[in-house]
Structure 1
Amino acid sequence: MGIIGDIGHFIMVPLYYIISAVLIGWHKLFELCGLDPEGGLSWTLSIIGLTLVIRAALIPLFVKQIKSSRNMQLIQPKVRELQKKYGHDRQRLAEETMKLYKDAGTNPFASCLPILLQMPIFFALFRLLDQAAKHNKAHGFLTTDLAKNFGESKVFGEIPLADSFWGARTWGTEPNGLVMMVSLVLVLAMTATTFFTQRQLMAKNMPADALTGPYAQQQKMLLYILPVAFGLGGVAFPIGVLLYWTTSNLWTMGQQFYVIRNNPAPGTPAAKAKQERDKAKAARHPEKYAAYEPAAEGDEVSEATTNRPAQRQQPKRQTRAQRKSGKPGTGSNPSKGGSK
């Protein structure tokens, strides 16, 4: 346990400083805006601000995840061919499949990267909030006074950010029904947003032939396992941590909706819907989309190609001798001695 504890300490300490720095920065900003620095609302908004900062920092990783997931979808027919060809030889099948993944620049675990990278942040915030509430313990840039303030902060004067569904209390022995209700609502919101984020990806941005096979089975398994896992564990999470995860899920849903709508994978329902929207745009504004040609079914559709206005043809360059001769068809004025 000593080595594991050292590794955990090595990972968590930098996260304490990063999280506390962002939290304090937002908290100071809301204090300047007139919010009570000791009130729960300022800390609640600070947690939401922390979520937005972290998710904005993870945008490059999200783009990589989307590209990798798309490549995984497109190579599924090739994966099935390998399974038919080397189904009798598991070792050869694994080698050829990994080679195919490498050539396509993807791997089956890429879709889990944002969640895996957020888990240490998630637990660091959990520990920071929990220890601030129970022991007024300072971590990172949080001073003892700020830790106490953070740990004892309450939303609407009655709901402690450090309380959870199971630990709901009015700082005594009787359970706090309001805290339990708010916690349950947030747990359900966290579970639902996790489910619909995965469902959105499978229903809109996966081609029909990618809905079968091992990759599809993995996605279907995650569709149900992740929400259940978060739902069961969420009853023990403080309200502040539930706010973080629910806000993060909402960000993911909006970000994913934008990407799927504007740059869908080829051959998917989202790609067909985009083709219809682009056709409708071209019909409404024919002068702007004069050069519009609808993409063939299965072709990749992008905003940059389908919504590009017709470009004016530029005249060809002429030599000095051609300009002086004034020959018709060269772009000069034939009235100035160019025609007989």
Structure 2
Amino acid sequence: MDTIASLFSFITTPVSWVIVQFHKVYGALFGDDSGWAWGLSIVSLVVLIRICLIPLFVKQIKSTRNMQVLQPKMKAIQERYKNDKQRQSEEMMKLYKETGTNPLSSCLPILAQSPFFFALYHVLSSIASGKKIGAINQDLLDSARQAHIFGAPLAAKFTDSVEKVTSLDASLTDVRIVTAIMIVLMSASQFFTQRQLMTKNVDLTVKTPYMQQQKMLMYIFPVIFAVMGINFPVGVLVYWLTTNVWTMGQQMYVINQNPTPGSKAQDAYLQRVLKSVTSHGEVRGRTRRKMVKAIVAKGSDRNDIERKFITGLGKLGLAAQEDGTVAKSETATADAEGSQAHKRQQPKRQTKAKRQTTGHTTAGAKDTESAAAGSKTSLEKQDAPQDSKPKSAGKPASGSSRQAKSGQRKGPQRPKHPSKK
């Protein structure tokens, strides 16, 4: 780790200078040797870096969404040219160029943070070793070594020996408790950030290997952070925990304000827009109008969530316009009512008492019909003329119940009319 950190030594001076400037401000409030002064200086460094990285974060979001959309096409290219790797690479690059997608954009924020991370690690390691570095002179070095956060020195690590922790005027138990809590919080924030991305901001209609990879990373990244965290100084843990919390909050804001089409977040967002339109009769906010404008532009390519939103506007007698606003429309109302009329109506479930009453009534009606049919049959038998020729007693009658002819009922048959003999 020291070898890797030394590669970023060119940036240790700017990083140490920024920390010193923030320390002057917080030192005036909490004291120069206070752990809060040095800890908040590190937090402020993270906030400053992340603000500068917001444009890269926007590119990361766009690249991630484009990669999700392109997954089915990429899979088709891989299947089509599975025996020609060169042609496969050419078609992939052509697809990226046509859609304006850069696969590396999703890694830009992490890559951009790496120099600052390793530079801060190098600065804190030098403080632990008692060496001056960058803008930190001897006085600031002594102050930083005396700074403690909840009893743990900024330069102490979970794996440090008792002798090293004692030289920093601290207890090994305090150091391990503080570092363990920070490692757990760091891993939990990383897990929650990835989980809300997978459960809320992913197009559920597209099932691709990319989603499975992201799901695996959701469990792998926290484990990696936990293993690496035991070798990080407390100051670096403060840095990494702060950047994880920042990422979580920033992603939560993006999910709520600019969700991925087809995701649960988009459904919740459009429901909020529909509720606002119901209350105010218009689409409020430039971001919301931009979202409605994009939905109108899709036309027949809208997903089910967007169609539901358009139908909801129609029930209110409104229609979405090309500029993202809404206007009254009788046609939209008629279309919404027509779609409701075509829906299958489910019969209402009757109560038990009503079902029993209906059953008794039906059974009574059937008994009455059976009795009427029986009396009618009796009258017909009485009116039918009897056969004048008696049957022989010694011979069994043809068509008896033991050997019924095909197409006739078993059992005794009605006598034929004399004219049909």
TM-score by length of 1: 0.78
The alignment partner of 1:75 has SS state of helix
Q: Which residue of 1 aligns with 2:276?
A: 281
Instruction: Please list, as runs of the form range in 1=range in 2, the aligned pairs for 1:289-328 lying within 5 A after superposition.
Output: 295=295, 296-297=302-303
State whether structure 2 residue 90 is matched by structure 1 residue 95: yes
Q: Do the aligned partners of 2:158 and 2:180 also contact (CA within 8 Å) in 1?
A: yes
Q: Decide which of 180, 198, 204 is 1:202's aligned counterpart.
A: 198
Q: CA deviation at 1:258?
A: 0.8
Q: Which residue of 2 aligns with 1:179?
A: 175
Q: Decide which of 235, 240, 248 is 1:245's aligned counterpart.
A: 240
Q: Decide which of 42, 47, 53 is 1:52's aligned counterpart.
A: 47
Unaligned runs of 5+ in 1: 312-340
Distance in 2, matches of 1:288 and 1:189, equals 39
Q: Decide which of 226, 230, 236 is 2:225's aligned counterpart.
A: 230
State whether structure 2 residue 13 is matched by structure 1 residue 17: yes
State whether structure 2 residue 112 is matched by structure 1 residue 112: no
Q: CA deviation at 1:180?
A: 0.5
Q: Decide which of 213, 216, 226 is 2:211's aligned counterpart.
A: 216
Instruction: Please list, as runs of the form range in 1=range in 2, the aligned pairs for 1:68-217 lying within 5 A after superposition.
Output: 68-135=63-130, 137-156=131-150, 158-167=151-160, 169=162, 170-171=165-166, 176-213=172-209, 215-217=210-212
- How many pairs are equivalent? 298
- AA aligned opposite 2:95: L
Q: CA deviation at 1:8?
A: 6.6
Q: Do the aligned partners of 1:160 and 1:239 also contact (CA within 8 Å) in 2?
A: yes
- AA aligned opposite 2:159: W
Q: Do the aligned partners of 2:158 and 2:231 also contact (CA within 8 Å) in 1?
A: yes
Distance in 2, matches of 1:176 and 1:267, equals 51
Q: CA deviation at 1:226?
A: 2.0
Unaligned runs of 5+ in 2: 296-301, 310-320, 328-421
Q: CA deviation at 1:20?
A: 1.1
Cα distance change on mapping 1:183 and 1:308 into 2, 3 Å: same
Q: CA deviation at 1:111?
A: 2.0
- Bigger Cα displacement from structure 2, 159-168 vs 216-225: 216-225
Cα distance change on mapping 1:279 and 1:14 into 2, 3 Å: same
- Bigger Cα displacement from structure 2, 238-247 vs 108-117: 108-117
Q: Do the aligned partners of 2:27 and 2:33 also contact (CA within 8 Å) in 1?
A: no
Q: Do the aligned partners of 2:276 and 2:283 also contact (CA within 8 Å) in 1?
A: no
Larger Rg: 2
Q: Do the aligned partners of 2:5 and 2:121 also contact (CA within 8 Å) in 1?
A: no
- Bigger Cα displacement from structure 2, 178-187 vs 15-24: 15-24
Q: Which residue of 2 aligns with 1:254?
A: 249
The alignment partner of 1:166 has SS state of coil
Q: Do the aligned partners of 1:134 and 1:151 also contact (CA within 8 Å) in 2?
A: no
Per-residue CA distance 1:20-49 (angstroms, 9 max, x = gap): 1211111111123x2111111110111111
Q: CA deviation at 1:306?
A: 11
Q: CA deviation at 1:164?
A: 1.3
Q: Which has the higher contact order (CA 8 A, sep 6+)?
A: 1
Per-residue CA distance 1:246-287 (angstroms, 9 max, x = gap): 110000011111111111121121111111111111112226
Q: Which residue of 2 aligns with 1:326?
A: none
Q: CA deviation at 1:125?
A: 0.8
